[in-house]
Amino acid sequence: MNPISTRYPINELFETIQGEGFYTGTPAIFLRLQGCPVGCPWCDTQHTWDKAAEDQVELETVLNKSSATSQWAELSATEVLAAFKQQGFHAKHVVITGGEPAMYDLRELAQVLEAAGYALQIETSGTYELKVSAGTWVTVSPKLDMPGGFLVRPDCMKRANEIKHPVAMQKHIDALDNLLEKCPPAAGTIISLQPISQRPRATELAIKTCIERNWRLSVQLHKYLHIE
């Protein structure tokens, strides 16, 4: 495999604490990729949806963003690793998010970063075939019946280490139940519910359901801490 043949459109690159899911509390480097056609109406990263040629910039511009923008820089896997070192990041856990990062073949990125001692996690909607390393932790946050018309893939559900589902109402839990029946995950896959936008009723429903089902609660710790 040629280690420099794939280039990745980077919308953001920063170090923080993972605030969601199984790795909550873990220091992590976030690599946000540009591009997503799924179209969730409540998406809080809509600036990542379009990968417009006129928004391509140098890496320095991406690193110096003071607010969310649709600007992106294109890097190879080795350039991503060089950027980690240039930034002096300490974390060894890398979260590849988006946008929809599964639009891209992430195997070269994994090859380069894992060889340098990093562990990878991908956060995906489950609507694209996964091209990740065997060691990558896969978090599927299934996006059902979204305007983009994409279906959640059974192979993504099977590969998931963790299924993290946003909930506000009972119908969201019913939809997850339906999905789990149609596309069963592997034994031992972690299932967590994440209340949408920290709404009290959503949180109450998620807590109640997690206790009843022995699932996990994911609370978006970073939003409570007011960090990125």
- The residues of the shown chain that bind ligand SF4, judged by CB under 6 A, are 36, 38-40, 43, 45, 48, 98-100, 125, 143
Provide the minimum distance between the beta carbon of 99 and ligand SF4 in the complex, in angstroms, as a whole number. Answer: 5
Q: Is 215 annotated as a binding residue?
A: no
Please, are residues 165 and 143 in contact by the beta-carbon 8 Å criterion?
no
Provide the minimum distance between the beta carbon of 125 and ligand SF4 in the complex, in angstroms, as a whole number. Answer: 4
Provide the minimum distance between the beta carbon of 111 and ligand SF4 in the complex, in angstroms, as a whole number. Answer: 25
For residues 81 and 163, which CB has a smaller minimum distance to ligand SF4 in the complex? 163
Q: Which ranges of the chain does DSSP label H, i.e. alpha helix?
A: 59-63, 77-87, 107-115, 154-159, 170-182, 200-213, 221-225
Per this entry, what is the length of the chain? 228
- To which residue do tokens 């967590």 refer? 192
Which amino acid, one-letter code, is at 227?
I
For residues 97 and 136, which CB has a smaller minimum distance to ligand SF4 in the complex? 97
Three-state DSSP class for residue 123? strand
For residues 76 and 192, which CB has a smaller minimum distance to ligand SF4 in the complex? 192
Please, are residues 179 and 160 in contact by the beta-carbon 8 Å criterion?
no
Write out the binding residues for Mg(2+): 45
Annotated binding site for S-adenosyl-L-methionine: 42-44, 99, 141-143
